[in-house]
Amino acid sequence: MAETTRKNTDVSSGKSDEVIAALTILESLGFLLVVSLLTASDDISQMEIANHEMAHRLRVNQGNLVANAINGIKIVTFEDAKLQWRREMILKRLYSIHVALIHSHTTDDDTTADADIQAISDALASHAASIRSTASTESWQELERLTGSLENTLRLHRIS
């Protein structure tokens, strides 16, 4: 009879060892699953941060182009008070654009905005650089048009 009890104990001990092993394997798999999900989530978060920082650097560079345009326009002086006032109004608008670009926060659909802003900022900077030599009425109208176009693009993409 002692042998039967020993066999029953060995069988029940073997079954409990199998249950413990199965639970340990399930816990390990669960832990690995949770760790891999957290790692993937962290990788996605790090990519989003890197993309945001890259977009912010692009906006800062675009703001610097506007700052270059501002510096180019500041050099031009007029004796005519009307043209001087016009220049000051353009400068004021460009300052607000510069601040908006430097301090902007990006959203998911900013790729089209960045292309538009970059094109207009490039045109604005090159036109402002050439305005010193040709300070005609048409060149100031073009400068006002580019400034207005950049303001509208920023407003359209809610960059302020």
pTM: 0.66
pLDDT of 142 reads 85
The reported pLDDT for the residue numbered 135 is 63
pLDDT at 81: 81
Residue 133, CA distances (Å) to 64, 73, 125 in order: 22, 11, 14
Q: What is the pLDDT of residue 10?
A: 58
Q: How far apart are CA 70 and CA 156, in angstroms?
A: 23
Mean pLDDT for each 10-residue chunk of the chain (160 residues)?
A: 54 80 94 93 90 84 88 81 86 91 71 78 81 70 87 82
For residue 109, the SS3 value is coil
Task: Identify the pLDDT of residue 155.
Answer: 84
